[in-house]
A and B are shown apart, each in its own frame.
Chain A
Amino acid sequence: MTIEQLLLMRHEIMLLIAAVIILIIELSAGKDNKSLMIPAAVIIFSLVTFIGFLPIETGKLFGGSYNTSDMIILMKNSLNIGVLIVIIQSAGWLKHSFENFDNSGGYFFIIISSVIGMDFMISAGDFLMFYIGLELATIPIAALAAVEKMKRRSSEAGIKLILSAALSSGILLFGISILYATNGSLFFSSLSSDNLNSSLQILAFIFVFTGVAFKISLVPFHLWTADVYEGAPVNISSFLSSISKASAVFILIILLFTVFNSLVSVWNTVLYYTAVITMTIGNLFAIRQQNMKRFLAFSSIAQAGFIPLGIIGGTQFGISAVIYFLLIYIFSNLGAFGVVSAISNATGKENMDDYNGLYRTNPKLSLVMMLSLFSLAGIPPVAGFFGKFFLFTAAAVQGYYILVFIAVVNATISLYYYLLVVKAMFINKSDSPIEFINNDNYTKAGLLICAIGIIIIGFAGIIFEFIESASTGI
């Protein structure tokens, strides 16, 4: 293997180098210079994100175990952008608590190693690489969810996450073993050229789909989501709800279009019903939530219900619509979580009632929150509208009118509870509103990037064209 071939793995290699450099800086900085860690991590990860965008060859490595294409690189780049925002936003949380601040090097290292796992998972060409990537993406995050050792809720979130992740990967593995029995190969390419249609293979598909659906938190498998998001530190919740979910959707698309492409009629049915249940249940539970983190957790479940609309037809346009939707979703969700994180760090308040009268004291935070929620709800001027619009178009082109109708009804219901928060911030009066919060520059920068992203992505048509040109050839 030559060095040029090895450079096909540039994203993973860059992330690995970044993780090691961060560890070295942490070691050499000593006890007194811990404040060095946050700017170092932000600069290094910005470099990694930037280098990821430079043009790169595509190809296969390790006999087809690892492959890249334009679309996979695009997916990795959108994950990188999201992780950069998470890293910038977590500066406020790390500074807030002395104990976390001491461990900030380890925090960044664990986040980056989880991203390495996601990249390997998306690039996987056989089930072995896919499984290892999946576990590398999940296990570190469970450790991070339990990182606040002083809080009982944090450990509780960690144990719930690791146990449900272990169960889901067990189910996934059982499906893979059945696939192996029927075909004798673990490579995506040879599995997809084989015509899978026996009932044993359909059973295997159901098992594999269940395992991945746990990560996306589609509805019958969503029970861990709200508890983990509520207990974990806010930045870990935002990482789980946007980056982790997006990477699982990406690998689901790749699996459905390569390995299970001969089972189209089966997975169309499965996706149809999970989409309907996920949207409805997510919305109905989100209405009654008072805690902002739980509220955003159920809203992210409901958002995940829209994603199958793009996959269901099995068209190229649908895939680009899903990637576009996820890119917007990453920005808007991170914006909403960023505001919750800023308020929670400064005051410790996480309930919706505490947000009453927020606009009078913190107009900028309320504006970013409003933009993000409007984008999640899909109100026209902001990007979320276009994301949902393309998804609905992709499903409607395939003739799923009833599904689109249900989705539109659910989008309207979701508008109700998103507007509840906006109403609390802008209209409700409060005797003791949250005091003015003087955020540090990292928090401001993170929220600014989200706000700009939410506005720009909707209007810059070039972004969707770019995604559409890249999302050919899985």
Chain B
Amino acid sequence: MESGVGIQHFMILSTLMFFIGVYGFLTRKNLITILLSVELILNSVNINFVAFNKFLYPENLGGHFFAMFVIAVAATEVSVAIAIIISLYRKLKMIDVENVNEMKY
């Protein structure tokens, strides 16, 4: 690479974000933080799509469109999740996953 940022930088960034997201999803205790981790995963996918489109296939726009749709769908997903979290909060007065344990095994 003679100049600036190349595709491998984007791939390293997106892979890191993906696995930070998965790690956060599995270890965090707060439901909102878990949602943030999911957002990290989805945004790493967006970076992937846009970078691949820009560097590998600049002649079409498939990746850009996909990234836009992912953003929109992620917003709907989060809105439903937040609504459910609020209804949980009204009963528990707390949003830690350790309290969401009425059903096990």
Contact = CB atoms under 8 A, between A and B. Distances in A.
A135 B63 contact: no
Nearest 6 CB-CB pairs, A to B? A170-B41, A177-B48, A173-B45, A184-B57, A158-B84, A166-B38
B61 to A, nearest CB: 11
B84 A143 contact: yes
Q: Is the interface of B mostly helix, strand, loop or mixed?
A: helix
Contact of B81 (A131, A166, A226, A227): A166
A132 B57 CA distance: 23
A150 to B, nearest CB: 9
A181 interface: yes
23 contacts: A128-B69, A131-B66, A143-B80, A143-B83, A152-B102, A153-B102, A153-B103, A155-B84, A159-B31, A160-B100, A163-B35, A163-B81, A166-B38, A166-B77, A169-B77, A170-B41, A170-B45, A177-B45, A180-B49, A180-B52, A180-B53, A184-B60, A186-B62
Contacts of B48: 174, 177-178, 180-181
A162 B81 contact: yes
Given A155-B87, A159-B100, A184-B56, A142 B41 contact: no
A128 B65 contact: yes
B33 to A, nearest CB: 11
Q: Is the interface of A mostly helix, strand, loop or mixed?
A: helix
Contacts of B35: 163, 166
Interface residues of B, number: 41
Interface string B74-104: 0011001101110110011000000010111
B101 to A, nearest CB: 8
B66 A127 contact: yes
Contacts of B83: 143, 146
Contact of A174 (B45, B60, B102, B103): B45
Contacts of B88: 152, 155-156, 159
Contact of B52 (A155, A163, A166, A177): A177
Nearest to B49: A177
A180 B91 contact: no
Contact of A173 (B70, B81, B91): B70
Contacts of B60: 184
Interface of B: 18, 21-22, 25, 31, 34-35, 38, 41-42, 44-45, 48-49, 52-53, 56-57, 60, 62-63, 65-66, 69-70, 73, 76-77, 80-81, 83-85, 87-88, 91-92, 100, 102-104
A142 B78 CA distance: 12
B84 A146 contact: yes
A156 B63 contact: no
A349 B18 CA distance: 43
A49 to B, nearest CB: 28
B60 to A, nearest CB: 7
Contacts of A146: 83-84, 87
Interface residues on A, range: 35 or more
Contact of A159 (B41, B65, B73, B81): B81
B76 A135 contact: yes
A403 to B, nearest CB: 29
A185 B66 CA distance: 11
Contact of B85 (A159, A176, A184): A159
B19 to A, nearest CB: 10
Contacts of B21: 170
A152 B91 contact: yes
Nearest to A142: B80
A425 B35 CA distance: 44
Nearest to A175: B45
A352 to B, nearest CB: 15
Nearest to A162: B81
